[in-house]
Amino acid sequence: MDRRSFLKNTVNLTIGAGAVMAGYPKTLLSAPEYPDITALMGGEPKTMFDKGIEAMGGMRRFVKPNQTVVIKPNIGWDTAPERAANTNPDLIMQMVKQSLDAGAGKVYVFDHTCDAWQRCYERSGIKHGVKEAGGTMVPGNSTRHYQKIQVPRAKVLKQVEAHELFLEADVFINVPVLKNHSSTGLTMGMKNLMGVVWDRGWWHRNDLHQCIADFATYRVPDLTVIDAYRVLKVNGPRGVSINDTVLMKALLMSTDPVAADTAAARMFGMDPSQISYMKKAQDLGVGTMDLSSLNIRKIRI
Amino acid sequence: MSRAASRKKRSASPLKRLRVFLAGGFFLSINIVFLDIHGAVPQWIYDTGVYFQFLPSLLYATRAFGIAATGCILVLGLTLVFGRIYCSSVCPLGIFMDMIAFLKKKATRPIHHRYAPPRNMIRYGLLMCTMLCFASGSMLMINLLDPFSNFGRMAVALVKPLVILGNNGAAYALEMAGNYDIPPHPLKGLHLGMIGFTLGFAALVCSLALTRGRLYCNTICPVGAFLGLCAKAAPVKILIKENDCIGCGKCERICKSDCIDLKDRIIDHSRCVACFNCLDTCPTGAAVYGYSLPLAAPIPPSEGHPTHTRRGFLAAVGTALALLPRASEGIETVKVTIPNKIQVPLFPHPILPPGALSLDHFTGTCTGCHACVARCPAHVLQPGITQYGLAGLFMPFLDPGSGFCNLNCNLCGQACPTHAITSFSLEEKKTIQTGVVKFIRDNCIVVLQKTDCGACSEHCPTKAVTMVTEGKVKVPKVNEKICLGCGACEHVCPAKPNKSIYVHPHTVHKKAEAPPSRRLEIEVPAQGGDGFNF
């Protein structure tokens, strides 16, 4: 890890930890009250994002002029958008566009894919959408982009190699797709961060759930946007056919990754307490599973 | 002197220009087949270059009907009429040797050729040996000697890594400026055995090209020997007009095949590769490429029988034996909570690529040119050396250690010039079962450590591997009927030191059953409440 990313990380950690301990955001004195979670239903991905981010305080709340924005969708599989194994391309396209409109200097999009990466980027439709919107697709399958970092608050995953853009980004936005997952039950925000590290096998070998929670302590995404437009209900995370999906037409966003995952799990129809990495992340102070303590905004379109 | 000066001014003849133009086109096309790491070039360019390759097309014809099978017939027809134009204009190895000799000419001075008698015992002996070998079901001789496949292997083992390094260097430089337009490419598939063999072969070919011109093509190459036989009676050929010839000997000195005997005014058309250099060098225009019916056998028949076949065969066996399987992979430091103990069993042969149909079909048709290896986007097809035994020298195999076969991909079938890997449509390919998955329960992380893993099930494209809840964790369960043998589960299985799931290769490929599927759309309204559910 270079000094720059170390400093940035430290600052992030301090802010994150401080905010969690003080029961943010109420104590951030002059800041206006934004919802902790905004949930939308019934619209197209672009519309839902526009309305949702407006409720969250607008894209300018997260992106300042000339900042580098990194958007991390799930592009794990060489499958078409209607299979819902990857994040919706229209949503990503709109997020890139909004980031640039807010004055972002550069918008990068990447994932460390499971299938052959160029095919995933193509078939998911994300490469096309990002290019169209003026963003940059970055390869995630090349070792030299990964840097070794220490994860100070981790129980198991004390060190890991993470993508340099994840480490260096001014603004990091996590955009998973909500889907069934064969080994962890559900994959949402925190699980999606496995796509910014190099050696996932290590996680699988050394208590997967704990590693997911451990890594979530490293850098809390500035915003977690969970795509639930089309949802893979069974046979996840890849899915076998379109029959495995349902059209839910929903979107969730939150600055608290644990709260975002909790709400998404409920929306999916699953008890969040059944997913052990969520509890572990809450115990590490990443966020809260107690939705009743949060300011939630629900929007029907 | 004045004659020499006027010759220097004279530009190349139209025939030679045509030859150089065609050679350039084919050379480029064939190189693209092996070196286009991004798959950026349209398919027809691959297909055109490969279509005319004699031996691959001939092998295709022995296995299947189709356009690809007509290439060899076309080449054969052209050779019967025009001589061995193939060897100078189409064959990538021949063109490569010409380029080496050309560079030597530019750097120092041209090779001084003179007539040499044909080494018929060796060339026809090797040809016969190759044919007998093939007839007995072994591809060994073809795979050692075929010029196209040898060129392909050289390109993949020696040049491709350089292309990748160059590409990655350029990608890195652009990234410094925040540009990611050049995709980096992993440097996978470096096998010391392949590099060693191809380096040796390249050294042989280059040294022959630098000293003796086309000696390889006229002594070792079975395609050259066969086309030479066909060209013997070709009506259109190089002729020396007795009346115009002043006997200066320039044509003999420039002939890269050493096949012009000016003393007796004889040209050995079985060795002439129709390069047309003699036409350009002849000061009086006595050497012409024209039509003449053969009046008499131009070359005295060789005496004796080909007795060198056994020696050639033994040499081939020796070469192959010297190449041991590839070096083991680099040591990585891994943290393993509880190491497992059971070793994955060894199989008589590796996993055959989808479309290979059966071990017999594949090992009886593949020339080991590695065009499929070059095209495979998942890097799962790796160059083999002796994985299929000596008879299957250099044949590629599916290596779950390097990657896994992408469900939505059938590029290897499209790349294969010999039909060793049959080209199937994507829908057909998705049902090919190259092997079946086997689970070693006592090696599995979930069973040993009681912590969730499930990497195998995550990657399985048909959900032949599912996770079944046992207490607090989920344990893999396999359904062999819908398994494709793609190797995804084996590739990602993080268990150490042994895999806990692996593909058992089929000797004859089967058809996998379709995965069960049930439409879920109706379940949506069951959500209740405001729909948000929280």
Average pLDDT on B472-480 reads 95
* Mean pLDDT, rounded, of chain B: 88
C-alpha distance from B190 to closest chain A C-alpha (Å) = 17
Residue identified by tokens 């004045």 is: B2
Nearest to B523 among A184, A210, A246 (CB): A246
Distance between CA atoms of residues B130 and B58, nearest Å: 14
Average pLDDT on A43-53 reads 97
At CA B266, angle to CA B265 and CA B270, rounded to 5? 160
Position B296 scores a pLDDT of 41
Binary contact (B492, A201; C-beta < 8 A): yes
Identify the CATH number of the domain defined by range A3-11+33-300: 3.40.50.11440
pLDDT band of A192, cuts 50, 70, 90? very high
C-alpha distance from A71 to closest chain B C-alpha (Å) = 15
Position B524 scores a pLDDT of 52
Identify the CATH number of the domain defined by range B433-510: 3.30.70.20
pLDDT band of B59, cuts 50, 70, 90? very high
Tell me the pLDDT tens digit for each residue of B90-130. Answer: 999 999 999 999 999 999 998 999 999 999 999 999 999 99
Residue A52 has pLDDT above 60, yes or no: yes
Binary contact (B515, A240; C-beta < 8 A): yes
pLDDT band of B300, cuts 50, 70, 90? very low
Binary contact (A243, B520; C-beta < 8 A): yes
Residue B320 has pLDDT above 50, yes or no: no
Residue B260 has pLDDT above 90, yes or no: yes
3-class secondary structure, B159: helix
Residue B9 has pLDDT above 80, yes or no: no
pLDDT band of B10, cuts 50, 70, 90? low
Residue B323 has pLDDT above 80, yes or no: no
- Contacts of residue A91, Cβ cutoff 8 Å, sequence gap at least 6: A45, A46, A48, A49, A175, A225, A227, A229, A251
Probe site for chain B from A240, A242, A247, A256 (most B CB atoms < 10 A) = A240
Counted across chains A and B, CB pairs separated by less than 8 A come out at 147
Position B528 scores a pLDDT of 52
Take residue B128 and report the two structure tokens written for it.
């016969």
* Mean pLDDT, rounded, of chain A: 91
Position B327 scores a pLDDT of 31
Sorted by where each begins, the domain ranges of chain B are 10-291, 433-510
Average pLDDT on B377-387 reads 92
Distance between CA atoms of residues B139 and A219, nearest Å: 57
Nearest to A205 among B172, B183, B337 (CB): B337
Q: Measured in whole angstroms, how far is the alpha carbon of residue B308 from the centre of its chain?
A: 28
Average pLDDT on B376-384 reads 93
Could you say which DSSP state residue B325 is in? P
Q: Taking every pair of C-alpha atoms in chain A, what is the biggest distance, in angstroms?
A: 50
Among A86-90, A278-282, B138-142, B185-189, name the one with the lowest average pLDDT: B185-189
Probe site for chain B from A106, A118, A123, A208 (most B CB atoms < 10 A) = A208
pLDDT band of B295, cuts 50, 70, 90? very low
Probe site for chain A from B36, B38, B179, B453 (most A CB atoms < 10 A) = B453
Residue B388 has pLDDT above 90, yes or no: yes
Nearest to A139 among B184, B459, B519 (CB): B184
Distance between CA atoms of residues B84 and A294, nearest Å: 83
pLDDT band of B442, cuts 50, 70, 90? very high
Binary contact (B454, A269; C-beta < 8 A): no
Q: Does this complex have an ipTM over 0.95?
A: no
pLDDT band of B293, cuts 50, 70, 90? low
C-alpha distance from B328 to closest chain A C-alpha (Å) = 20
Distance between CA atoms of residues A183 and B445, nearest Å: 12
Position B190 scores a pLDDT of 84
Distance between CA atoms of residues A174 and A182, nearest Å: 21
Give the N- to C-terminal CA distance of chain B in Å, as an integer.
100
Binary contact (B466, A269; C-beta < 8 A): no
pLDDT band of B271, cuts 50, 70, 90? very high
Residue B439 has pLDDT above 70, yes or no: yes
Binary contact (B496, A206; C-beta < 8 A): no
Q: In terms of pLDDT, which residue wins out, B338 or A103? A: A103
Binary contact (A141, B492; C-beta < 8 A): no
Position B7 scores a pLDDT of 46
Binary contact (A204, B455; C-beta < 8 A): yes
Nearest CA in chain A to B406: A115
Binary contact (B495, A205; C-beta < 8 A): yes
Chain A partners within 8 Å of B463 (Cβ)? 235, 240
Distance between CA atoms of residues A233 and A227, nearest Å: 13
Position B322 scores a pLDDT of 41
Binary contact (A182, B336; C-beta < 8 A): no
Probe site for chain B from A126, A148, A183 (most B CB atoms < 10 A) = A183
Position B514 scores a pLDDT of 94
C-alpha distance from A193 to closest chain B C-alpha (Å) = 16
pLDDT band of A6, cuts 50, 70, 90? low
Chain A partners within 8 Å of B460 (Cβ)? 238
Tell me the pLDDT tens digit for each residue of B237-248. Answer: 999 888 888 989
Nearest to A182 among B451, B467, B496 (CB): B467
C-alpha distance from A246 to closest chain B C-alpha (Å) = 5
Position A15 scores a pLDDT of 52
3-class secondary structure, A126: helix
Among A117-131, B232-246, B428-442, name the one with the lowest average pLDDT: B232-246
Average pLDDT on B318-322 reads 41
The residues facing B183 across adjacent strands are none
Chain A partners within 8 Å of B178 (Cβ)? 106, 136
Average pLDDT on A114-137 reads 96
pLDDT band of B518, cuts 50, 70, 90? confident
Probe site for chain B from A157, A165, A206, A291 (most B CB atoms < 10 A) = A206
Position B177 scores a pLDDT of 86
